[in-house]
Amino acid sequence: MKSFSTKLVWFDGKFVKSEEAKVPVMTHAIHYGTSVFEGLRGYWNSKNLNIFRLDDHIKRFRNSGKIYSINLRFTNKEISNAIIQLCKRNSVRRSCYIRPFYFVGEYGINLNVTEKAPTHTAIVMFEFGDLFNKNGIKAGISSWRRIHEISTPPLAKMGGNYLNSILATQEAKRNGYDESILLDHLGNVSEAPGENIFILRNGEIITPPSSSSALEGITRESVIEIVRNQGYKIIEREILRTELYLADEIFLTGTAAEITPVTFVDGKKIGNGIPGKLTKQIRSTYSDIVMGKNKKYAHWLTAVY
């Protein structure tokens, strides 16, 4: 299998060497976190590199900036084409992670960011495997609460929002857990620092709604559609912290995490302490889809070559 070099990045409409993509120290985003980003995966199946739900990611990419009046100065088509061409120019023949982002440039210390503020757009990529152990991870409930609509819109995928996730992750690692689970401002389950959460309890598949400060995750949306097509019912409702301890199965979803089973929460065994039957079924279906083995969902994939 041929490897690839990430020597090239896409920066403001041009393909340049990574070391040449520089920004001034007075870049607004460095000072205030005024950046918007997305995370996509490209999956190599020995025949082609397929990007998962490219158009949906780019749509959210633009919408996140709208919330803060930060202007993406390229069309959705231009961004999509740039991602595909960057994969080609870097000769990507392995599964990879793709990170497009845009940010406010030199704007002084002015907090009145408007659509007229200067912005820059970049795309980088790198090889990427499993984020977590697919045999299950140990999670702990964070003492930090998830950001909320009353202060910082959680539906915007903004760089500054993830300071909240960093605090929760640091705490989890200090306490010996693989990952954290955040509660919302009311004490209900929200999400993990970079993943959505699902539980199986009493035969029901449940996931927190966006009103619990859960990001409208694209992998989350994909899983909801997959399980509904398989005849299951998905319930979006508030989840009490205690319900995590009583769940038969718990799994996380996200571009980086894909489908990751949670086998312990706060030291308490979930189910039998191993990945559950439903989780493994969903993970298997998801894997077939992203690897181009399920024609029903072929419209979710964009071929690079």
State the catalytic residues: 157
227 contacts 198 by C-beta, under 8 angstroms: no
CB-based contact 298:292 (threshold 8 Å)? yes
| Residue 287 main-chain phi, psi, to 5 deg | -60, -45
| Rounded distance between C-alpha atoms, residue 83 and residue 90, angstroms | 11
